[in-house]
A = this chain, B = another copy of it.
Amino acid sequence: MTAMKSMNMIEAINSAMDIMLARDPGVVIFGEDVGYFGGVFRATAGLQKKHGKTRVFDTPISECGIVGVSIGMSAYGLRPVPEIQFADYIYPGLDQLVSEAARMRYRSAGDYICPITIRSPFGGGIFGGQTHSQSPESLFTHMCGVKTVIPATPYDAKGLLIAAIEDNDPVVFFEPKRIYNGPFTGYYDRPVEPWSKHAASQVPEDYYRIELGKAAIVRAGGALTILTYGTMVHVAMAVVEEMGVDAEVIDLRTLLPLDIEAIEASVKKTGRCMVVHEATRTSGFGAELAALVQERCFYHLEAPVERVTGFDTPYPHSLEWAYFPGPIRIGAAIDKIMKD
Protein backbone atom coordinates (compact mmCIF):
# COMPACT_ATOMS: atom_id res chain seq x y z
CA MET A 1 0.00 0.00 0.00
CA THR A 2 2.47 2.57 1.11
CA ALA A 3 5.49 0.93 -0.43
CA MET A 4 8.37 3.38 -0.67
CA LYS A 5 10.68 3.74 -3.59
CA SER A 6 13.78 5.80 -4.18
CA MET A 7 12.99 8.32 -6.87
CA ASN A 8 14.74 11.30 -8.30
CA MET A 9 12.69 14.42 -8.82
CA ILE A 10 11.71 13.63 -12.40
CA GLU A 11 10.55 10.17 -11.38
CA ALA A 12 8.54 11.59 -8.52
CA ILE A 13 6.87 14.12 -10.81
CA ASN A 14 6.18 11.43 -13.38
CA SER A 15 4.67 9.25 -10.69
CA ALA A 16 2.35 12.04 -9.52
CA MET A 17 1.02 12.53 -13.04
CA ASP A 18 0.71 8.81 -13.63
CA ILE A 19 -1.37 8.43 -10.48
CA MET A 20 -3.57 11.40 -11.24
CA LEU A 21 -4.21 10.22 -14.80
CA ALA A 22 -5.38 6.93 -13.35
CA ARG A 23 -7.46 8.42 -10.52
CA ASP A 24 -9.18 11.24 -12.35
CA PRO A 25 -10.46 10.81 -15.91
CA GLY A 26 -10.50 14.61 -16.21
CA VAL A 27 -6.74 14.92 -16.00
CA VAL A 28 -5.09 15.64 -19.35
CA ILE A 29 -1.41 16.32 -19.92
CA PHE A 30 0.07 18.08 -22.90
CA GLY A 31 2.79 20.41 -24.08
CA GLU A 32 5.68 20.68 -26.49
CA ASP A 33 7.38 17.27 -26.87
CA VAL A 34 5.39 15.94 -23.93
CA GLY A 35 3.55 13.11 -25.72
CA TYR A 36 5.40 10.47 -27.71
CA PHE A 37 8.85 11.51 -26.55
CA GLY A 38 7.91 12.16 -22.94
CA GLY A 39 9.25 15.69 -22.50
CA VAL A 40 12.71 17.17 -22.96
CA PHE A 41 13.40 16.42 -19.30
CA ARG A 42 11.50 13.10 -19.55
CA ALA A 43 8.92 14.14 -16.95
CA THR A 44 6.09 12.60 -18.94
CA ALA A 45 8.00 9.56 -20.21
CA GLY A 46 5.78 6.55 -20.71
CA LEU A 47 2.55 8.35 -19.87
CA GLN A 48 1.18 8.56 -23.41
CA LYS A 49 1.83 4.89 -23.99
CA LYS A 50 0.09 4.00 -20.76
CA HIS A 51 -2.85 6.40 -20.77
CA GLY A 52 -3.43 7.02 -24.44
CA LYS A 53 -3.08 9.80 -26.96
CA THR A 54 -6.17 11.74 -25.91
CA ARG A 55 -4.93 12.00 -22.32
CA VAL A 56 -1.26 12.79 -22.96
CA PHE A 57 -0.23 14.52 -26.15
CA ASP A 58 2.12 16.83 -27.99
CA THR A 59 1.06 20.37 -28.90
CA PRO A 60 1.92 23.05 -31.38
CA ILE A 61 4.69 25.40 -30.20
CA SER A 62 2.39 28.06 -28.84
CA GLU A 63 2.40 28.78 -25.15
CA CYS A 64 -0.58 31.07 -25.68
CA GLY A 65 -2.45 28.18 -27.22
CA ILE A 66 -1.35 25.76 -24.52
CA VAL A 67 -2.67 27.94 -21.70
CA GLY A 68 -5.69 29.08 -23.72
CA VAL A 69 -6.94 25.59 -24.55
CA SER A 70 -6.36 24.59 -20.93
CA ILE A 71 -8.86 27.24 -19.87
CA GLY A 72 -11.44 26.00 -22.35
CA MET A 73 -10.89 22.42 -21.25
CA SER A 74 -11.44 23.54 -17.66
CA ALA A 75 -14.79 24.99 -18.64
CA TYR A 76 -15.68 21.59 -20.03
CA GLY A 77 -14.78 20.03 -16.69
CA LEU A 78 -11.31 18.68 -17.35
CA ARG A 79 -8.29 19.22 -15.13
CA PRO A 80 -5.42 20.12 -17.48
CA VAL A 81 -1.78 19.75 -16.50
CA PRO A 82 0.10 21.50 -19.32
CA GLU A 83 3.87 21.74 -19.45
CA ILE A 84 5.73 24.88 -20.49
CA GLN A 85 9.07 23.53 -21.68
CA PHE A 86 11.11 26.16 -19.84
CA ALA A 87 9.86 28.89 -17.50
CA ASP A 88 11.68 31.35 -19.77
CA TYR A 89 9.04 30.56 -22.42
CA ILE A 90 5.97 31.20 -20.33
CA TYR A 91 5.61 34.83 -21.45
CA PRO A 92 3.70 34.18 -24.69
CA GLY A 93 1.12 32.41 -22.51
CA LEU A 94 1.10 34.99 -19.76
CA ASP A 95 -1.92 36.93 -20.95
CA GLN A 96 -4.07 33.80 -20.97
CA LEU A 97 -2.78 32.94 -17.53
CA VAL A 98 -3.02 36.37 -15.93
CA SER A 99 -5.98 37.97 -17.66
CA GLU A 100 -8.01 34.80 -18.02
CA ALA A 101 -7.18 31.78 -15.86
CA ALA A 102 -6.31 33.82 -12.79
CA ARG A 103 -9.46 35.96 -13.07
CA MET A 104 -12.01 33.42 -14.22
CA ARG A 105 -13.48 32.38 -10.88
CA TYR A 106 -13.66 35.99 -9.76
CA ARG A 107 -15.03 37.59 -12.88
CA SER A 108 -17.64 34.88 -13.38
CA ALA A 109 -18.46 34.79 -9.65
CA GLY A 110 -17.67 31.10 -9.63
CA ASP A 111 -19.54 30.14 -12.80
CA TYR A 112 -16.29 29.01 -14.36
CA ILE A 113 -13.08 27.88 -12.73
CA CYS A 114 -9.63 26.97 -13.99
CA PRO A 115 -8.20 23.99 -12.11
CA ILE A 116 -5.06 24.08 -14.24
CA THR A 117 -1.59 23.10 -13.08
CA ILE A 118 1.11 24.58 -15.27
CA ARG A 119 4.33 22.67 -14.78
CA SER A 120 7.54 24.34 -15.85
CA PRO A 121 11.25 23.75 -15.18
CA PHE A 122 12.94 26.91 -13.90
CA GLY A 123 16.23 28.20 -12.53
CA GLY A 124 19.82 28.03 -13.67
CA GLY A 125 22.99 26.18 -12.93
CA ILE A 126 22.96 24.04 -16.06
CA PHE A 127 24.78 26.38 -18.45
CA GLY A 128 21.51 27.08 -20.16
CA GLY A 129 22.25 30.71 -20.89
CA GLN A 130 19.76 33.48 -20.42
CA THR A 131 16.82 31.69 -22.03
CA HIS A 132 16.98 28.41 -20.13
CA SER A 133 17.75 29.67 -16.64
CA GLN A 134 15.20 32.22 -15.53
CA SER A 135 13.32 32.28 -12.24
CA PRO A 136 10.20 34.35 -12.88
CA GLU A 137 8.22 33.16 -9.83
CA SER A 138 7.71 36.56 -8.23
CA LEU A 139 5.62 37.73 -11.20
CA PHE A 140 3.00 35.11 -10.46
CA THR A 141 2.74 36.07 -6.82
CA HIS A 142 1.74 39.58 -7.87
CA MET A 143 -1.18 38.32 -9.94
CA CYS A 144 -4.05 37.58 -7.67
CA GLY A 145 -5.74 34.33 -8.51
CA VAL A 146 -2.73 32.09 -9.17
CA LYS A 147 -0.96 29.85 -6.67
CA THR A 148 2.78 29.41 -6.98
CA VAL A 149 4.38 26.17 -5.82
CA ILE A 150 8.04 25.15 -5.88
CA PRO A 151 9.22 21.80 -4.52
CA ALA A 152 12.77 21.08 -3.37
CA THR A 153 12.75 17.29 -3.02
CA PRO A 154 11.28 14.27 -4.78
CA TYR A 155 8.99 13.62 -1.83
CA ASP A 156 7.63 17.14 -1.86
CA ALA A 157 7.48 17.27 -5.63
CA LYS A 158 5.12 14.34 -5.83
CA GLY A 159 2.92 15.30 -2.91
CA LEU A 160 2.71 18.94 -3.91
CA LEU A 161 2.05 18.15 -7.55
CA ILE A 162 -0.83 15.89 -6.64
CA ALA A 163 -2.25 18.59 -4.39
CA ALA A 164 -1.77 21.17 -7.15
CA ILE A 165 -3.58 19.02 -9.69
CA GLU A 166 -6.43 18.51 -7.23
CA ASP A 167 -6.59 22.20 -6.40
CA ASN A 168 -9.52 24.03 -7.97
CA ASP A 169 -7.51 27.13 -8.81
CA PRO A 170 -4.72 27.68 -11.31
CA VAL A 171 -1.34 26.67 -9.96
CA VAL A 172 2.04 27.46 -11.42
CA PHE A 173 4.30 24.61 -10.45
CA PHE A 174 7.94 25.52 -10.99
CA GLU A 175 10.40 22.65 -10.95
CA PRO A 176 14.01 23.50 -10.07
CA LYS A 177 15.66 21.75 -12.99
CA ARG A 178 19.13 21.90 -11.44
CA ILE A 179 18.06 19.37 -8.86
CA TYR A 180 16.06 17.01 -11.07
CA ASN A 181 18.83 14.44 -10.71
CA GLY A 182 20.30 15.24 -7.35
CA PRO A 183 20.39 17.88 -4.62
CA PHE A 184 22.89 20.59 -5.53
CA THR A 185 24.92 22.25 -2.81
CA GLY A 186 26.21 25.13 -4.89
CA TYR A 187 29.65 23.58 -5.26
CA TYR A 188 29.58 23.21 -9.01
CA ASP A 189 33.06 21.74 -8.98
CA ARG A 190 32.11 18.81 -6.80
CA PRO A 191 30.43 15.69 -8.19
CA VAL A 192 26.63 15.72 -8.04
CA GLU A 193 25.23 13.52 -5.31
CA PRO A 194 22.32 11.42 -6.60
CA TRP A 195 18.93 11.72 -4.98
CA SER A 196 19.18 8.13 -3.78
CA LYS A 197 21.53 9.28 -1.02
CA HIS A 198 19.01 11.82 0.26
CA ALA A 199 16.25 10.88 2.68
CA ALA A 200 13.62 12.84 0.78
CA SER A 201 14.12 10.58 -2.24
CA GLN A 202 12.14 7.91 -0.41
CA VAL A 203 8.76 8.43 -1.99
CA PRO A 204 5.55 6.45 -1.48
CA GLU A 205 4.64 4.70 -4.69
CA ASP A 206 0.96 5.50 -4.16
CA TYR A 207 -1.15 8.61 -3.87
CA TYR A 208 -0.42 11.17 -1.16
CA ARG A 209 -0.77 14.94 -0.89
CA ILE A 210 1.20 17.72 0.67
CA GLU A 211 -1.09 20.59 1.44
CA LEU A 212 -0.40 23.76 -0.53
CA GLY A 213 0.46 26.81 1.56
CA LYS A 214 2.51 24.96 4.17
CA ALA A 215 6.23 25.52 4.53
CA ALA A 216 8.64 22.85 5.74
CA ILE A 217 11.21 23.52 8.45
CA VAL A 218 14.08 21.58 6.98
CA ARG A 219 16.42 22.48 9.80
CA ALA A 220 15.36 23.80 13.18
CA GLY A 221 17.60 26.43 14.72
CA GLY A 222 17.66 29.43 16.96
CA ALA A 223 20.21 31.86 15.60
CA LEU A 224 18.73 32.93 12.31
CA THR A 225 15.83 32.18 10.00
CA ILE A 226 16.58 31.42 6.36
CA LEU A 227 13.60 31.56 4.01
CA THR A 228 14.19 29.85 0.72
CA TYR A 229 12.80 27.42 -1.86
CA GLY A 230 13.79 25.17 -4.74
CA THR A 231 17.45 24.55 -5.48
CA MET A 232 18.52 27.14 -2.94
CA VAL A 233 17.20 25.05 -0.04
CA HIS A 234 20.06 22.64 -0.61
CA VAL A 235 22.66 25.32 -1.16
CA ALA A 236 21.60 27.15 2.00
CA MET A 237 21.60 23.92 3.99
CA ALA A 238 25.12 23.08 2.86
CA VAL A 239 26.40 26.50 3.88
CA VAL A 240 24.67 26.33 7.23
CA GLU A 241 26.15 22.93 8.00
CA GLU A 242 29.56 24.04 6.84
CA MET A 243 29.56 27.24 8.86
CA GLY A 244 28.07 25.48 11.85
CA VAL A 245 25.56 28.28 12.35
CA ASP A 246 22.38 27.34 14.18
CA ALA A 247 20.03 28.55 11.47
CA GLU A 248 16.42 27.60 11.03
CA VAL A 249 16.03 26.82 7.36
CA ILE A 250 12.51 27.07 6.02
CA ASP A 251 11.60 25.67 2.64
CA LEU A 252 8.57 27.73 1.70
CA ARG A 253 7.31 25.18 -0.86
CA THR A 254 4.34 27.41 -1.69
CA LEU A 255 5.01 31.11 -2.34
CA LEU A 256 1.37 31.96 -2.62
CA PRO A 257 -0.52 31.42 -0.42
CA LEU A 258 2.43 31.86 1.87
CA ASP A 259 2.83 30.09 5.21
CA ILE A 260 3.06 33.31 7.16
CA GLU A 261 2.61 31.56 10.51
CA ALA A 262 5.70 29.46 10.09
CA ILE A 263 7.68 32.51 9.04
CA GLU A 264 6.50 34.72 11.87
CA ALA A 265 7.02 32.07 14.51
CA SER A 266 10.54 31.42 13.35
CA VAL A 267 11.66 35.03 12.97
CA LYS A 268 10.15 35.99 16.31
CA LYS A 269 12.22 33.21 17.80
CA THR A 270 15.51 33.90 16.04
CA GLY A 271 15.35 37.68 15.58
CA ARG A 272 17.22 37.44 12.31
CA CYS A 273 15.96 36.68 8.84
CA MET A 274 17.55 36.06 5.52
CA VAL A 275 15.93 35.27 2.19
CA VAL A 276 17.71 33.27 -0.48
CA HIS A 277 16.56 32.96 -4.05
CA GLU A 278 18.10 32.67 -7.47
CA ALA A 279 15.83 35.16 -9.21
CA THR A 280 16.95 38.70 -9.96
CA ARG A 281 16.90 40.85 -6.86
CA THR A 282 14.76 43.88 -7.60
CA SER A 283 11.09 43.08 -7.03
CA GLY A 284 11.95 39.42 -6.60
CA PHE A 285 9.95 37.41 -4.09
CA GLY A 286 12.59 38.25 -1.51
CA ALA A 287 11.26 41.80 -1.56
CA GLU A 288 7.81 40.62 -0.53
CA LEU A 289 9.27 38.38 2.17
CA ALA A 290 11.46 41.18 3.54
CA ALA A 291 8.51 43.56 3.52
CA LEU A 292 6.28 41.08 5.34
CA VAL A 293 8.87 40.12 7.92
CA GLN A 294 9.68 43.71 8.86
CA GLU A 295 5.95 44.53 8.97
CA ARG A 296 5.13 41.63 11.27
CA CYS A 297 8.28 41.06 13.30
CA PHE A 298 9.74 44.57 13.43
CA TYR A 299 10.26 44.63 17.16
CA HIS A 300 11.89 41.22 17.15
CA LEU A 301 14.46 41.95 14.47
CA GLU A 302 18.07 42.37 15.56
CA ALA A 303 19.25 43.11 12.05
CA PRO A 304 17.77 44.03 8.71
CA VAL A 305 16.33 41.23 6.65
CA GLU A 306 19.06 40.19 4.23
CA ARG A 307 18.36 39.24 0.65
CA VAL A 308 20.70 36.83 -1.12
CA THR A 309 19.69 36.69 -4.76
CA GLY A 310 20.75 36.51 -8.35
CA PHE A 311 21.98 39.79 -9.76
CA ASP A 312 19.81 42.18 -11.76
CA THR A 313 21.27 41.05 -15.07
CA PRO A 314 20.24 38.35 -17.51
CA TYR A 315 21.68 34.95 -16.61
CA PRO A 316 25.11 34.99 -18.29
CA HIS A 317 26.21 31.80 -20.02
CA SER A 318 29.91 31.62 -19.22
CA LEU A 319 29.82 33.53 -15.93
CA GLU A 320 27.04 31.39 -14.54
CA TRP A 321 28.92 30.65 -11.31
CA ALA A 322 29.73 34.27 -10.65
CA TYR A 323 26.05 35.01 -11.06
CA PHE A 324 24.63 32.13 -9.04
CA PRO A 325 23.91 32.97 -5.36
CA GLY A 326 26.23 30.24 -4.16
CA PRO A 327 27.95 29.41 -0.89
CA ILE A 328 30.16 32.49 -0.83
CA ARG A 329 27.30 34.91 -1.25
CA ILE A 330 25.19 33.13 1.31
CA GLY A 331 28.09 32.79 3.71
CA ALA A 332 28.90 36.48 3.51
CA ALA A 333 25.29 37.35 4.23
CA ILE A 334 25.23 35.04 7.24
CA ASP A 335 28.40 36.64 8.55
CA LYS A 336 26.90 40.06 8.11
CA ILE A 337 23.54 39.32 9.66
CA MET A 338 25.09 37.55 12.63
CA LYS A 339 27.39 40.48 13.27
CA ASP A 340 24.63 43.10 13.04
Contact = CB atoms under 8 A, between A and B. Distances in A.
Contacts of A142: 136, 138-139, 279-280, 282-284
Given A139-B139, A145-B314, A295 B291 contact: no
Nearest to A296: B304
A140 to B, nearest CB: 9
A127 interface: no
A313 interface: yes
B305 A144 contact: no
A281 to B, nearest CB: 9
A304 B314 contact: no
Contacts of A130: 103, 106-107
Contacts of A210: none
- Copies held by the complex: 2
Interface in A287-319: 287-288, 290-291, 294-296, 298, 301, 303-307, 312-314
Nearest to A302: B298
Contact of A287 (B143, B144, B287, B312): B287
A94 interface: yes
Most buried by B among A130, A282, A290, A306: A282
Interface string A89-109: 001101100110001001100
Contacts of A313: 106, 144
Interface in A258-289: 279-280, 282-288
Interface of A: 64, 88, 91-92, 94-95, 98-99, 103, 106-107, 130-131, 136, 138-139, 141-145, 256, 279-280, 282-288, 290-291, 294-296, 298, 301, 303-307, 312-314, 340
Contact of A283 (B92, B98, B131, B138): B138
5 contacts: A91-B99, A142-B280, A144-B282, A295-B306, A298-B301
Nearest to A131: B99
A219 to B, nearest CB: 24
Nearest to A299: B304
A305 B294 contact: yes
Given A107-B314, A295-B306, 6 more contacts: A136-B142, A144-B313, A144-B314, A291-B307, A294-B305, A298-B304
A239 B274 CA distance: 35
